[in-house]
Structure 1
Amino acid sequence: MPERSESESRKLLRRLRDTLATPAKGQERLDRITHMIADSMRTEVCSIYLFRDESTLELCATEGLNPGAVHQTRMRLGEGLVGRVAKTSTPINTGNAPAERGFRFMPETGEEIYSAFLGVPIQRLGERLGVLVVQSKTARQYSDDEVYALEVVAMVLAEMTELGAFIGEGEALSALHQQPVLIRGLTGQEGSAEGRVWLHEPRVVVANPVGDDPKKELKRLNKAVEELRLSVDAMMSGSEIVDKDHQQVLETYRMFANSRGWLRRMEEDIQRGLSAEAAVEKEQSTTRARMGQVPDPYLRERLHDLDDLSNRLLRILTGQGRDTGAAMPENPVLVARNIGPAELLEYGRKLKGVVLEEGSVGSHAAVVARALAIPLVIHAERITTEALNGDAILVDGDQGVVHLRPEDTVAGAFRDKIAMQAEAQSRYASLRELPALATCGTQISLHMNAGLMADLPSLAGSGAEGVGLFRTELQFLLRSRVPRRGELAALYSRVLDSAKGKRVVFRTLDIGSDKVLPYMKPQDEPNPAMGWRAIRVGLDKPGVMRMQLQALIRAAAGRPLSVMFPFVAQMSEFEAARRALLSEIERERRAGHVLPTSTEIGAMLETPSLAFAPRSFFELADFVSIGGNDLKQFFFAADRENERVRRRYDTLDVSFLDFIGRIADRCAETNTPLSFCGEDAGRPIEALCLIAMGLRTLSMRPASIGPVKHLIRRVNLAELRAVIDDAREAGALTVRPAVMEWLARQPM
């Protein structure tokens, strides 16, 4: 690169920094910047467009266009060349703007006399802030050096916007992170919470993007990179992971940290005038842009590794990050792009809520959030870029909505909702010791779901009669290696101790699909929910299943043991798993170990095929538990992780209730105990209809037991069944309207 280009680039950046350092109001500062850029680049027009909302750009300052168009000219995302730059996050450089695809003429600006157009996005790590444009009458394309210079200036403008440099007149100049924001996501765990934002990965703010002394900045960068490499080497040597594939992932991580190309690109940016921090962030922005364009999941994950390394490097350079010493606020609500189960457990019950930019309803984090009874909203787009530590936040897990920096009226209404929920919970607490007895005399058994020792105190507090589902996979997901038999036996023993004689049903390892062990090679499956998972993994990996069964037998040691095998699709799978458990019991007997006083062996009915198994299956199984979440998605062929389709089906659909009734009838014929486990068991209306179809045992999250019991005690189940049958006879597709109308007539 010629020395002149380097010095011109640095000169432009210094002029920009000096302009920003001069005291001025927001609009005045923007006007000075456009004048300075036009003068430095010797072009007739420089304009700055900023987003006034998610989809609308506004002309906020210009040198060369009609001043009267400022704060008057607006365009939608994707509209015109400016809108295209904003939407694609890529520059447009043309010598004949009117001939470009999508060109839109704005007559109020007076831009018709300008042919050349160069527009670059103003963005920070994927957060779109606006567009910076230069134009000239001469029909020419801007040089690569000019494009680079404008991109660097746009990056600095983004940093200054982040720091509030343009607060001032004009609606589009309102400071980021100061206005109320409503973000719609998806429900990961129901419940409501009010608190203050606590960022899992705090934003790193680059306070000085311009470097005066390239040699000094290069020295700082190289020192930080060396520290980064040492930390990665330490992570490699301290890792307990022995799996070859995951070792290769860490090797890739180290390869990126030692990449000369990565370092060279940052060094070149410093030579052109950026500070070390700004050079790292510019490279990171490029990486994030590439991440969104790569279809291959493996390559996308590798780019994510590079993005993570950039974050680590920025924290080293700035001293910012998790270890800043900042105190967690009262009533913290955790905000993150995503989070693993172990990290979430480290925060524990001190959290009031969790909001994730990514995640899924079946993710590890969602399972832990449910176990901790913490409201969770997932797929909350832009939350990590919108939120700052300490921001007021309202989490509505019931609706999947987040209010960031809410207005007083919104906060007041939300507090009223929380107060009403608290009042209802206090009413439910009075039912704790009472049976779930319908007015017709039918008694229902209500159990709770669990997966952590932290869940067990809820057994007494909720009024649950036992644990209908203990998820054993969490202990595997929270470790970087396969847990030892002795560790599992000790844990299962503590679970039984905490249950104080109440029944605990242990579900064997349910992995695969969205639950991938950190030390297990991921399976590249087109449809993992219907792939190699649960009992299929256990039967193909008999060593792991045998170890877990031994741990369960030893934990029981003179107490009853109930074991349930997940995702059984055909009788032969259940027979094989049952034989494995009985074989281990016999092995333990020969070894002289204390055996369980009794053993129940059951299956989860999560696939429609098992409902049509031979009668001998129902005679062989000691109990059957309907796994409602999976059964429903397979019955309706609607992926419960897919928001486009998961809400299209209704549990109270006549065909699904008929199917549940048929399962109940088959179990009744063989006197096989039947239960229902899943989200619908904890929804009072759905639970009531399941009971009316023949279910007598439900298992749900502890917080749902009170509301479900309250409704059961109000109704006559025979009358409800008649309402359901009448709706079916009348040709209704769903019984929900008829049931709701009938419930409205029942006494409180």
Structure 2
Amino acid sequence: MAETSESESRKLLSRLQAVMAEAAAGQERLDRITHLIADSMKTEVCSIYLLRDAETLELCATQGLSPEAVHVTRMRIGEGLVGRVARQARPINTANAPAEKGFRYMPETGEEAYSSFLGVPIQRLGELLGVLVVQSKDERQYSEDEVYAIEVVAMVIAEMTELGVFVGEGAALSARHTNQVMFKGGTAQEGAAMGHVWLHEPRVVVTNPVADDPAVERVRLNEAVDQLRTDIDQMLTHAGKGDKDQAEVLEAYRMFARSRGWMRRMEEDIERGLSAEAAVEKEQSSARARMETVPDAYLRERLHDLDDLSNRLLRLLTGQGNNTGAEMPMDPVLVARNIGPAELLDYGRRLKGIVLEEGSVGSHAAIVARALAIPLVIHAKRISTEALNGDPILVDGDQGIVHLRPEDTVASAFRDKLAMQAEAQERYASIRDKPATSLCGTTVSLQMNAGLMADLPSLPSSGAEGVGLFRTELQFLTRARVPRRGELAQLYARVMDAAGDKRVIFRTLDIGSDKVLPYMKPQDEPNPALGWRAIRVGLDKPGVMRMQLQALIRAANGRPLSVMFPFIAQFDEFTAARDHLMREMDREAALGHVLPSDLQVGAMLETPSLAFAPHQFFEMADFISIGGNDLKQFFFAADRENERVRRRYDTLNISYLTFLEQIVHRCAEADTPLSFCGEDAGRPVEAVCFAAMGLRNLSMRPASIGPVKSLLRRVDLREARSVITEARGTGAQSVRGAVMDWLKRQA
């Protein structure tokens, strides 16, 4: 670009900065900006359209169109050329706007007199705020330099919007980060929480988007990039030669950090008048916009790497980020785009709730949140850009709803809900040491799920009779390397110590699918839930499984030991896994180590195929646990990670209950203990139905044991069975309605 163009660009930004600095109300500032841009770019029209809600754009300021149209003209995103700019998040540049597909004629604006049209999105880090438009009577295509200039101005407007300069008397915008906002996401861990926002990565606010001296800004940028590169080199050194996959990720980081194209674009942005941090953020916004449209998962991941690098660079330039000096509130609710399991464990039980923009019900974060019994809502889009540290927030993990800065009436209703839950917990505490015996005299054993040492203190207070499932993968997921045998043996021994004389069933490593170890190379599988996971990995790569089995045997040290193998699909997988365990028992005996006083070997029934295994399987297994989460998704062919189908099929569907009944009968024939383990076991109505179908062992999160026990003690399971049988006879698809009506009559 010629020096004159660069000077004109800087001149425009300098004039814009001067307008921003003047004392004026928000609407007056917007009006001045449109006049300034139209004058500088020699166009008859400049208009600013801003979002009024998630789907509506409003004309908020104009030079050249009818003044009466301001705050009157509105359009949906996708409607007209302006709406298309907003929908596509990229510029539209045309010499003949009326001839363009989708052109919308708005008589109140008088815009039919203008042929050329250039519209660019006003956005900040992928968050759309509005659209900036210039128009001329002449039929002309705007030049590349003109498009660039208007994009830069749009970015500065976005930054100023973030800083609230358009707020005030007669303002076009209400103040950001002040209104109540409700987010509808997905449930990943049930429960309710009330607290104040703690941002995992506080957003960096660029307070100086325009700079006077490009030379100074180039020096600042280069110094920050040099520091960034040094930091990455040090991270690579610390990663060590043994951590190949982590090193590969850091090598990709280093490649991006040394990208000449990335540096060149940021330096060009600085030459045109932006500050160093604004130049970084402009490139980051472009990368995020590309990320939204790239279908290739690998390329999206690489663009995510670039996004992360930009965040690191912005923190270096601004001194903002995690070390802002902000103090964590007493009742923190963590808000983040996403978070890893190790980072989440660092926060521990201090958190009242967690809200993520991304994530999944089976993600590492969800696994840890369930282990810590912290309510978790996922897919709360844009919450990390809307929330500020200290904002009041309500998390309804049961409904997947989050209220940010709630109104008093909403907060009051939520407090009443929490109070009712607390009152119920007091009632549950009174029956903690009593058995879950129904009115007909049937006793159901209630056990808890666990995965961390931090879970074990809940064992006596919950009323659980033991640990029906201890997830051993969490110790692998939260580390940067494979744990050593001695470390695992010590951990498992502490688990047994904490459980005392209560039984703990250890499930061997269940990895793969959505649980990829940090040091394990991800497998590119079209359907990972049906792919190389759990026992399939263990049998194909037996080294880790043998090490884990040795650790479990040594941890028992003469005590009873229960081991359960996950995701068994056919009989020979169970026999192969059991043979591995028996060989390790023989090897430990040969080494002179103390063997368990009793060894119980079981399997998780998570695939429909195993329900039809030979009778010998049911005789060989010492116990069987139905893995309800996986079995349900495979039974209904409904991916539990897919929000569009995961709630489509009811657990109390007649077909599913009939299938569970068949499993109960097969286990009864072989006199093999059977349990149901999963989220549905912890739902009181479902638990009653399972018990009515013959299940006598249920394993669930500790907080669910009280509600389940309370309902079981108040019903007659023979009557529940009759209600289910009667509903089945009517041809009903689900027994839920009939069971709920019956339960209401019991109250």
Regarding TM over 0.5, the answer is yes
Shift of 1:330: 2.1
For 2:228 and 2:266, the matched residues in 1 are separated by: 15
Give, in whole Å, the separation in 1 of the partners of 2:372 and 2:517. 21
TM-score of the two chains, using structure 2 as the length reference: 0.99
User: Contact 2:194–2:393 (CA<8 Å) still a contact in 1?
Assistant: yes
In structure 1, the residue corresponding to 2:156 is in which secondary structure?
Answer: helix
Q: Is 1:349 aligned with 2:349? A: yes
Letter in 2 for 1:534: A
Task: Look up the match of 2:734.
Answer: 734
Match of 1:543 in 2: 543
Q: Please tell me whether the aligned partners of residues 52 and 171 of structure 1 are also in contact (alpha carbons under 8 angstroms).
A: no
Deviations 1:77-108 (A, max 9, x none): 00000000011110111111000111001100
Distance 1:321 1:486, change over 3 A: same
TM-score by length of 1: 0.99
Cα deviation for residue 296 of structure 1 reads 1.3
What secondary structure is seen at the aligned counterpart in 2 of 1:358? Answer: coil
Aligned to 1:35: 35
Q: Contact 1:240–1:481 at 8 Å: present in 2 too?
A: no
Contact map agreement 2:651 2:680 (CA 8 A) in 1: yes
CA contact (8 A) 1:71 1:170 kept: no
For the aligned residue pairs, the C-alpha RMSD in angstroms reads: 0.9
Matches within 5 A, 1:66-85: 66-85=66-85
Alignment correspondent of 1:487: 487
Q: CA deviation at 1:171?
A: 7.8
- 2:738 corresponds to which letter in structure 1? A
Show the 5 A alignment for 1:398-409: 398-409=398-409
* 1:318-357 aligned within 5 A: 318-357=318-357
Q: Specify the code of the residue in structure 2 equivalent to 1:49.
A: Y
**Distance (Å, rounded) in 2 between the aligned partners of 1:733 and 1:303:** 46
- Aligned residue number for residue 358 of structure 2: 358
Per-residue Cα deviation, 1:435-480 (whole angstroms, up to 9, x for no partner): 1010101111000000000000000010000000000000000111
- Change in Cα spacing, 1:47 to 1:98, as seen in structure 2 (3 Å) is same
Q: Which residue of 1 aligns with 2:672?
A: 672
Q: How many pairs are equivalent?
A: 747
1:283 is matched with 283
Q: Is 1:477 equivalent to 2:477 in the alignment?
A: yes
Task: Name 1:617's counterpart in structure 2.
Answer: 617
Contact 2:25/2:170 (<8 A) preserved: no
Q: Secondary structure at the match of 1:566?
A: strand
Aligned to 1:195: 195
SS in 2 for 1:183: strand
Shift of 1:602: 0.2
Q: Matches of 1:719 and 1:144 in 2, distance apart?
A: 77
| 1:134-175 CA-partner distances (Å, limit 9, x unpaired) | 111111111111111100000000000000011135685112
Task: Give the corresponding residue for 1:718.
Answer: 718
Structure 2 partner of 1:411: 411
Give the drift of 1:241.
6.5
Going from structure 1 to structure 2, the CA distance change for 1:615 and 1:653 (only over 3 Å counts) comes to: same
**1:298, distance to aligned residue in structure 2 (A):** 1.1
Q: Distance in 2 between matches of 1:610 and 1:326?
A: 53
Write the distance in 1 (CA, Å) between the matches of 2:112 and 2:254: 53
- C-alpha separation in 2, matches of 1:261 and 1:723: 69
Judge conservation of contact 1:514–1:528 (CA < 8 Å) in 2: yes
Alignment correspondent of 2:504: 504
Deviates more, 1:246-255 or 1:167-176: 167-176
Q: Please give the per-residue CA displacement for 1:166-192, whole angstroms capped at 9, x wherever unaligned.
A: 113568511221111111000011111
How far apart, CA to CA, are the structure 2 residues paired with 1:93 and 1:737? 57
Deviation at 1:245, TM superposition (A): 4.0
- Tell me if the contact between 2:166 and 2:172 (Cα under 8 Å) persists in the aligned partners: no
Quote the offset at 1:244 in angstroms.
3.4
Correspondence 1:385 to 2:385: yes
Q: Is the 8 A contact 1:58 1:172 kept in 2?
A: no
Give the gaps of 5 or more residues in structure 1.
Answer: none
Alpha-carbon separation, structure 1, partners of 2:333 and 2:28: 38
Residues 206-605 of structure 1 aligned to structure 2 (within 5 Å): 206-240=206-240, 242-605=242-605
What residue in structure 1 maps to residue 15 of structure 2? Answer: 15
SS state at 2:135 partner = strand
Counterparts of 1:206 and 1:733, CA distance in 2: 57
* Structure 2 CA distance for aligned equivalents of residues 93 and 296 of structure 1: 28
1:280-315 Cα shifts (integer Å, max 9, x gaps): 000111111111121111111111111100000000
Identity %: 77
Measure the CA separation in 1 of the matches of 2:648 and 2:112. 50
Which residue is 2:61 aligned to?
A: 61
Structure-2 residue corresponding to 1:148: 148
Asked if 2 retains the 8 angstrom alpha-carbon contact of 1:651 and 1:680, the reply is: yes
What SS class does the counterpart of residue 265 from structure 2 fall into?
A: helix
CA deviation string 1:689-712 (max 9, x = no partner): 011111000000000000000000
Equivalent-residue separation in structure 2 for 1:241 and 1:578 (angstroms): 35
Q: Is the 8 A contact 1:203 1:321 kept in 2?
A: yes
1:556 and 1:596 in contact (8 A); partners too? yes
Cα shift readout 1:674-721 (whole Å, capped 9, x = no counterpart): 000000100000011011111000000000000000000001111111
C-alpha contact (below 8 Å) 2:25/2:171 kept by paired residues? no
**What is the CA-CA distance between 1:378 and the residue it aligns to?**
0.2
Distance 1:283 1:241 in 2: 33
Q: CA deviation at 1:416?
A: 0.9
Q: Give yes or no for contact 2:653–2:735 (8 Å, CA) kept in 1.
A: yes
Provide the rounded CA distance (Å) in 2 between the counterparts of 1:221 and 1:153. 21
What amino acid sits opposite 2:731 in the alignment?
G
Distance, in Å, in 1 between the alignment partners of 2:297 and 2:242 is: 23
Is contact 1:241–1:481 with CA below 8 Å preserved after alignment?
no
CA distance in 2, matches of 1:74, 1:611: 59
- Whichever residue aligns with residue 724 of structure 1, its letter is I
Alpha-carbon distance, 1:514 to partner: 0.2
Q: Matched residue of 2:133: which SS?
A: strand
Q: Which SS does the other structure have where 1:173 is aligned?
A: coil
- Write the distance in 2 (CA, Å) between the matches of 1:289 and 1:28: 31
